[in-house]
Amino acid sequence: MLKNEEKNLVLDISADKIFAHIRNMCAHGPRYIGSEADSKAIEYFKKNLSEYGAEVIEEEFEALAFEERKAILKISSPIEMEIPCKAVFFTKPTPPEGISGELVFVGSGSKEEFEKTNVEGKIVIVENSPESPKGALGLEIALAASKGAEAYVLAHFASPPYVLMAETGYFDRSKRFMRMEPKEIPAVIIGSLYWKKLYSLIEKGTVKGTLLIDAIRETRKTKNIRGIIPGKKYPEKRILLVAHRDTVSCLGSSDNTSGNAIILELARVFSKYRLDATIEIVSFGAGEVLGCVGSWTYVEKHKDELRDVVGVINLDAVGFGGHLRIVTEGSWIDAGPIKTDAKINRLLEEAAKDLNYVIKHTVCMLGLSDATPFLANNVPAAWLWKYDDPYWHTDLDTLENIDPNSLKVTAEIVGLAAKRLSEIT
């Protein structure tokens, strides 16, 4: 049952304002770490927080950045064909002339398939099936490199293909990337339509081609942006609403402009309806993909203050897909499952129920996004996600595929849950 103040709060949340934030933050292209687009998004975020009366704090740090310029696979024999690609995020670029060689298919890329296939000096192609989808490719690319392959191509089941990453999937941050021996090799992803054409050629005989990746991989500076709205009764207690700001090689309207837009709108609403506890809005730099560098940096910088954080709600990729879901636990290759906070999850469930909305649950096998560093430091945290977004990490993650009204639903659930959490601290 909603109280009058709760009704006023959720009614004030605007789908139009949330969508306007998405449109404005996406206006300058993909927000690669340290890019001009990221800088413009930072200024936009700060400007709005200031207008809402929040105290704005910038915290600069360095992180590994990857920026794709062009990726293409040119088939030279038995026919000439150009296949557009997406560079695996954080992969090594090729020399300007590219890497040439015979293309060889290695099935699903298992150790057994690599053992029985001669890949030395060749460009290997591995198939990604919807029955067993791949996420972190670092270990598999390293396996191909150890067998003497010159480059790695993932044939994705979707078209356009998802941008996947060269990370390993380890929780241990010292193992985020795998050292490749005898050398690091470049990697790309192709979509299903081109893979069908290419596979038909490989079935008939020898196929040769050249892989070209033009990309920047370097350390850059970025920022976490914090907006503080003091609480009325318990200003020393804080509730964090967080979202990573950077994107992979696409516009990222859902992943994760949607999360930033929602927390910006909630900053506006909470500046009018002040909560009992302090609300802190945080836009993390360097959240993609598994590294969560921005949130880890925040936790390490504010370690002595974490005892005052009564809850964290992370919003990541909630702009498109099926049901809104509470992620109840996450796993890594070397850790987990780690559970998200039961109390916050229950508040989110109750808020959805009282608003007559449906919310479901899921688990994640690729960690817990930016909730991870907080949970690892015993800070209560939750994560909302729409995991079945067909446009995730693709060129179709655009404004046209965002439903503004569903964003208001998510904002209402988070806003109501945050208000109730502030009253029971």
Residues 6+ apart with CB under 8 A from 7: none
CB 183 within 8 A of CB 99: no
C-beta atoms surrounding 96 within 10 Å: 7
Quickly state the pLDDT bin for 289 (edges 50, 70, 90).
confident
Provide long-range contacts, Cβ within 8 A and 24+ apart, for 175-182.
Answer: 175/334, 176/290, 176/291, 177/90, 177/138, 178/138, 178/139, 178/141, 178/142, 179/142, 180/141, 180/142, 180/145, 180/146, 181/142, 181/145, 181/146, 182/145, 182/146, 182/148
Q: What is the pLDDT of residues 365-387, one digit of tens each?
A: 999 999 999 999 999 999 999 98
Does residue 132 surpass a pLDDT of 90? no
CA pair distance 28, 26, nearest whole angstrom: 6
Asked whether the predicted pLDDT for residue 18 surpasses 90, the reply is: yes
Q: Which residue has the tokens 């975020």?
A: 45
pLDDT tens profile 169-189: 999 999 999 999 999 999 999
72-97: pLDDT as tens digits: 999 999 999 999 999 999 999 999 99
Radius of gyration over every alpha carbon of the chain, rounded to an integer in angstroms? 22
- At 151-175, the pLDDT tens digits run 999 999 989 999 999 999 999 999 9
Which residues are 219's β-sheet partners? 64
Q: How many angstroms separate the CA atoms of 95 and 100, rounded?
A: 11
First-residue to last-residue Cα distance in the chain = 20
Residue-wise pLDDT tens digits, 313-359: 999 999 998 899 999 999 999 999 999 999 999 999 999 999 999 99
pLDDT in tens, 65-74: 999 999 999 9
With vertex at residue 78, the alpha carbon angle to CA 72 and CA 81, rounded to the nearest 5 degrees, is: 30
**pLDDT-derived band of residue 1, with 50, 70 and 90 as boundaries?**
confident
Q: What is the pLDDT of residues 244-284, one digit of tens each?
A: 999 999 999 999 999 999 999 999 999 999 999 999 999 99
Three-class DSSP category at 77: strand
Distance of CA 99 to CAs 72, 88, 94, 188, 420, Å?
Answer: 11, 16, 7, 12, 57
Residue among 202, 134, 203 at smallest CA distance from 169: 134
**Structure confidence at residue 229 as a pLDDT band (50, 70, 90):** very high
Other Cβ atoms less than 10 A from the Cβ of 99: the count is 16
How far, in Å, are 16, 56, 224, 257, 406 from residue 23 at the CA level? 10, 22, 21, 9, 16
Please determine, for residue 425, whether its predicted confidence score (pLDDT) is greater than 80: no
Distance CA 403, CA 318 (A): 10
How many whole angstroms from its chain centre is CA 312? 17
pTM over 0.75: yes
CB 332, CB 391: distance < 8 Å: no
Residues ≥6 apart with Cβ < 8 Å to 285: 33, 38, 42, 61, 63, 222, 223, 224, 244, 245, 246, 293, 294
Q: What is the mean pLDDT of residues 28-48?
A: 97
Report d(CA 12, CA 263) in Å as an integer: 14
Report percent pLDDT > 70 for the chain: 100
